[in-house]
A and B are shown apart, each in its own frame.
Chain A
């Protein structure tokens, strides 16, 4: 069975400082991992995905994530936060044994202070 744990429900950073959103996963097989972003009252937008190629994945808007199998982690980072990054972020896992259905974390709300 697959699962994902987002370690922080809320993260607050100052504009221009680094962002770190933490995610640990559990999977019986080689998983696919995703980060999605959701702005208020909007749908989810795919930021980046890991599908067993390079372990460091670059996404949109300057975000990146590193797949660490030994730590079962897939943390999301950005070197410098922008006010427009304030949103909710979801870490998501899928594996072929579940028919590639996605399992969502409970989300991390990112606040960016001026």
Chain B
């Protein structure tokens, strides 16, 4: 079955450490997205990519970085510059024109310890 796989499901980070969240899709979707979810704030867009080797900042890109070397993969790195990284992170994908909505992964919960 096609879908999006996020790993790990839970991740713990020490202060000052970079961590990378994995997102892989086998839907042959062109576009991929990373969202951050905090209680009571809905979803906020971190980065998105509409094509391989190209990506754009979303509304809250500071302290995050991404790469899009393959169509199937869109990893997100949470850097030490992100001062409040504890959150639930969701990856999504869509056909090039997202008018039909997005398909979401099951999320990664990141906690700073």
Interface size on A, residues (CB 8 A): 24
In the complex, the answer to whether B107 meets A42 with C-beta atoms within 8 Å is yes
Verify B109–A106 contact, CB threshold 8 A.
no
Q: Bin the interface of chain B by size.
A: 20 to 34
State in angstroms the CA–CA spacing of A42 and B52 once bound together: 27
Task: Check A107 against B99 for contact (C-beta < 8 Å).
Answer: no
Question: Beyond A9-B40, A43-B90, A101-B48, is A94–B106 a contact (Cβ under 8 Å)?
Answer: no
The distance from the CB of B106 to the nearest CB of chain A, in whole angstroms, is 4
Pair A106/B40 contact, Cβ less than 8 Å: yes
**B2: interface (CB < 8 Å):** no
Q: Is there a chain A Cβ closer than 8 Å to B41's Cβ?
A: yes
Near A by CB (< 8 A), chain B positions 77-113 give 88, 90, 92, 94, 97-107, 109
* Shortest CB distance A44–B (Å): 4
